[in-house]
Amino acid sequence: MNKVLVFARLDFSTIRVYLTVRTVLVFAAIAVVFGVTLGSTASQLGIFAAFGLIFSAYPFAISDKINLDMLYVTLGLSRRTVVRGRYVFGELIILAGLLIGYLAGTVVEVIRNKQIDPMGLVGLLLVFVLSSLIQACQFPIQFKAGYAKAQLWTWLPLAVVGIPVVALPPLVGGERLAGMMTDVGAWMAGNLGLVIAALILIWGGVVLGSYALSVRFYLRRDF
Amino acid sequence: MTDRIEQAVTPETTNSTFAFELRDVTKSYDSFKLGPISFALPSGYVMGFIGPNGAGKTTTLKAMINVIHHGGQVMIGGVDNQIASMEEIGVVMDTPIYVGEWTINQLRGILKPFYAHWDDTVFTARLRGFGLDLDKRVKDLSRGMGVKLQIAVALSHHAKLLILDEPTSGLDPIAREEVGDLLRQFVGDERHSVLFSTHITSDLERVADYITFILAGRIAFSGATSDLLEKYVRVAGDPSALTSDQKRLIVGYSSHPAGFDGLVEAGNRNLLPAAVLAEKPSLDDIVIYLNKGAHHE
């Protein structure tokens, strides 16, 4: 098997002991409660995206504790392979989280006797891109400084996303903002192909840039 | 084994019969500078790497396996360590660098895909020999068991060079002897070699064919263990019998109410009064006196 994929599997083995069925069920329960209460599938996706983001950082945290980076060297893995494998692992864990979230959302829709909205898949893509972009901001810092030292900085991207959500309604006005969002949503729905192409381009560019930075930082590290 | 020792261990030319060679290796930290250091080990032997805590043992071992960036060159089996195959090297730390929650059986499945020559039969046989249970979690292993597990892993991917960092620290004498026996068995195959860092020098007198002694980031000695033990004589006696020039010959000189003691190069023994007692030093003596001497300089 390709070494990058073998490494991604090693990352999964590293976090598997913390990724118990109980943990997944707790997240699923929270997601279902949020979904039913708020009547929104996006909240479920958001919770599972956060779940993916948290777990994608675990290998860094465990590595800080027992110097797994040294293990990778003794296994004959090049530093580029480690970075590539970690990105593959990171994207997969977010995707897996979102798929579980999407399934949980579908269950909620069925419980609420609502028709399943095919646009939910576009929402899934949007949340995936957003989560992946946050992760792309976090990984280079974690590769440079390790988990503990990077912790404050890695949550900054999340704050950058969160601040407009909190600050815009009072600034712009709730109704006006809702109107704007509806307009943006309608425009996006009308230009779906363009939106998806733009998203993929932005996502690809940022992830590639992030990968290049991570390689640069990780190559310089001593363990 | 000692009668097989035939080569000087200061490398001057590339020699693929060396298990490893370090050439002018350096590493600088804010508070510590290693090197430049050079030493080598011919294949088929055990080298003890000794020195007080903080002398640079772990930094040297890390440089050898490329865990840290360093100056100079490290050759493993005649190949630069930047491109040498890690399959040939087994690394054993004082505590395993595996996730504590993994069971030994899970560990086997996790490590296997990384080694082209992984041998499950050897792994299982070694575990049985060491009394290690496949269902045991890494975090539940004692220090000695942890060291044995890492040795079992190294043997299972057919490593030719074992690099061990303080494998016996914190072990009881029986477990330390077991580790020593394992290393002797390992070098029974002449293609196998061991570099074994420790500050417990008594472990080495029985096991090590060669000794490299590092002090404050510099190599104080690298050569056959017997040469090191014969190089110095431990001396003791009445300080009033010594002139100041004679005192200067004594490394790690210390005086106390009962007299003085220290270490002198064997060739200089005759320059001291006959009344001074002289005896063969232990490795411990050599480390202690040379360390003391370095601090007095």
- Say whether both B174 and B254 belong to one domain: no
Give the best residue of A1, A10, A16, A74 to mutate against chain B (max B CB count within 10 A). A74
- Say whether both B237 and B210 belong to one domain: no
pLDDT, tens digit, 9 for 90 and up, residues B176-204: 888 888 899 899 998 999 999 988 888 88
More confident residue, A23 or B219: B219
pLDDT, tens digit, 9 for 90 and up, residues A109-133: 787 777 767 667 777 888 888 889 9
Query: What is d(CA B191, CA B197) in angstroms, rounded to the nearest whole number?
Result: 20
In 3D space, the residue among A48, A55, A31, A38 whose CA is nearest the CA of residue A99 turns out to be A48
pLDDT, tens digit, 9 for 90 and up, residues A194-207: 988 898 899 999 99
In a domain, B40, yes or no: yes
- Alpha helices, H only, B56-142: 57-64, 104-111, 120-130
C-alpha torsion angle, residues A44, A48, A54, A57 (rounded to 10) = -150
Residue B67: count other Cβ atoms within 10 Å of its Cβ: 21
- Say whether both B172 and B284 belong to one domain: no
Q: How far is CA A192 from CA A119, A186, A199, A206, B188, in A?
A: 10, 10, 10, 21, 70
CB pairs under 8 A between A and B: 55
In what helix (H) or strand (E) does residue A31 lie, and over which residues does it extend? helix A21-38
In 3D space, the residue among A218, A72, A56, A82 whose CA is nearest the CA of residue A140 turns out to be A218
Domain that holds residue B292: 229-296
Residue A39 in this model has a pLDDT that exceeds 70: no
In a domain, B185, yes or no: yes
Residues of A with CB under 8 A from a CB of B: 1, 3, 6, 9-10, 13-14, 17, 62, 66-71, 73-77, 220, 222-223
Please give the distance of CA B119 from its chain centroid, rounded to a whole number.
27
In a domain, B222, yes or no: no
- Say whether both B27 and B119 belong to one domain: yes
Residues of B in contact with A223 (CB under 8 A): 62, 67-68
- Say whether both B152 and B74 belong to one domain: yes
Residue that terminates a domain, selected from B216, B250, B281: B216
Note the pLDDT of residue B296. Answer: 63
Note the pLDDT of residue A127. Answer: 85
Residues of A in contact with B141 (CB under 8 A): none
Residue position matching structure tokens 């440079």: A144
Query: What is d(CA A31, CA A34) in angstroms, rounded to the nearest whole number?
Result: 5
Counted domains in chain B: 2
In a domain, B221, yes or no: no
- Say whether both B171 and B280 belong to one domain: no
- Say whether both B128 and B244 belong to one domain: no
CB B139 within 8 A of CB B100: yes
Amino acid at A103: L
Note the pLDDT of residue B120. Answer: 94
Residue B280 in this model has a pLDDT that exceeds 70: yes
Residues 32-91 of B with CB under 8 A from A: 62, 65-69, 85-87, 89, 91
Residues 107-166 of B with CB under 8 A from A: 110-111, 113-115
CB B195 within 8 A of CB B61: yes
Q: Which residues pair with B222 in a beta bridge?
A: B212
Reported confidence tier of residue B9, pLDDT bands at 50, 70, 90 = low
Residue B278 in this model has a pLDDT that exceeds 80: yes
Note the pLDDT of residue B2. Answer: 40
- Say whether both B208 and B274 belong to one domain: no
- Say whether both B61 and B162 belong to one domain: yes
- Say whether both B262 and B190 belong to one domain: no
Give the best residue of B30, B67, B117, B150 to mutate against chain A (max A CB count within 10 A). B67
Residue B5 in this model has a pLDDT that exceeds 50: no
Q: Domain locations in chain A?
A: 3-220
ipTM above 0.85, yes or no: no
In a domain, B224, yes or no: no
Residues of A in contact with B85 (CB under 8 A): 76
Residue of A nearest to B154 (CA): A74
Q: How far is CA B269 from CA A94, B114, B286, in A?
A: 73, 55, 15
Q: Supply the Cα-derived Rg of chain A in whole angstroms.
A: 19
- Say whether both B14 and B82 belong to one domain: yes
Residues of A in contact with B115 (CB under 8 A): 75
- Say whether both B163 and B203 belong to one domain: yes
Reported confidence tier of residue A220, pLDDT bands at 50, 70, 90 = very high
Residue that terminates a domain, selected from B180, B195, B216: B216
Mean pLDDT to the nearest integer, A135-139:
92
Residue that terminates a domain, selected from B166, B186, B216: B216
Check CB contact under 8 Å for B86 and A222: no
More confident residue, B24 or B1: B24
Mean pLDDT to the nearest integer, A77-104:
92
Residue of A nearest to B99 (CA): A14
Residue of A nearest to B58 (CA): A223
- Report strand pairing: B33-42 vs B18-28: antiparallel
A18 burial (CB, 10 Å; 0-12 / 13-18 / 19+) is: middle
Residue position matching structure tokens 């090297």: B89
